[in-house]
Amino acid sequence: MVRIAAAADIHASDVSAERVERAFAELGGEADVVLLAGDLTTSGEPEQAEVLALACRQLDVPIFAVLGNHDHHAERAAELEDVLARAGVRLLDRECASCDVDGLELGIVGAKGFVGGFPGSALPDFGEPLLRRVYAETSAETDSIARGLQAIVHCDIRIVLLHYAPVVDTLEGEPPGIYTYLGCDRLATPIAENGADLVLHGHAHAGSFEGSIGEIPVYNVAVHVTGRNFWIFELDGSGVRRGGEVVEVREPPQ
């Protein structure tokens, strides 16, 4: 059994330092792996990443993360990566990684994802070059998910870690008029085609917790949605391999 603690939209800063440190301290002993689905900082400043790094140093388990739109705001993503790497956090940017947990190989594909929308309101690959560059950016994210899933096909458990939503299910609660800016159904295509056991994302603060891509479960783990600092997913290698079933989803103790 692999226990995964997941969270998104932590928005670390000097103002939230005490809350962030306490959240990670309370996680000790509750998880085998930590996955952070973007918006790690408030506005992408390295000093804000230091707040998160200090909290992460309390844990002795693998920590993987992707960046979100807030983390890119200051245009200092490379500095954020350096700060987090020194705290043992592996930042995945259109990449994959794996680790061994209790004899099971866990593979993680990490990408920010991007905008684009869903059927009925989607950005086209047409028109002004600027608009087509937005479409191309989402295409690059989508392609990286496909490559990553192909690279970890041998793993016992395969997880896709995003910031933007790949399905509309987990956006319900947000104003439909902004769905186009909260994710894109094109991100779901490589997941459906290559298979995965679990998909995690954030970004939609007023969205819904649970959705799916076919039989593959998708969860919006933004702390605003879960109402918890972390949500714990317990997966069994043989169990999830039979149709993508999540064996148990539970709240950590308070």
Neighbours of 107 (CB within 10 A): 22
Spans of all domains in the chain: 2-250
Residues 205 and 215: their CA atoms lie apart, in Å, by 24
Residues 137 and 179: their CA atoms lie apart, in Å, by 17
pTM for this model (two decimals): 0.93
Contacts of 60 (CB under 8 A, 6+ apart): none
pLDDT tens digits, one per residue of 7-59: 999 999 999 999 999 999 999 899 999 999 999 999 999 999 999 999 999 99
Phi, psi of 150 (to 5 degrees): -70, -35
Q: Residue 137: helix, strand or coil by DSSP?
A: helix
Report in angstroms the alpha-carbon separations of 15 from 10, 18, 25, 48, 67.
12, 8, 18, 9, 20
Burial 140-173 (b: 16+ CB within 10 A, else e): ebbebbebbbeebeebbbbbbbbbbbbbbbbbee
Report in angstroms the alpha-carbon separations of 64 from 4, 31, 42, 73.
11, 13, 19, 21
Residue 115 has pLDDT above 60, yes or no: yes
> Which pLDDT score, from 0 to 100, does residue 182 have?
98
pLDDT tens digits, one per residue of 180-212: 999 999 999 999 999 999 999 999 999 999 999
Residue 223 has pLDDT above 70, yes or no: yes
> Which pLDDT score, from 0 to 100, does residue 52 have?
98
What type of residue is 18? E
Asked if 240 and 46 touch (Cβ cutoff 8 Å), the reply is no
Q: Does domain 2-250 have CATH number 4.10.490.10?
A: no
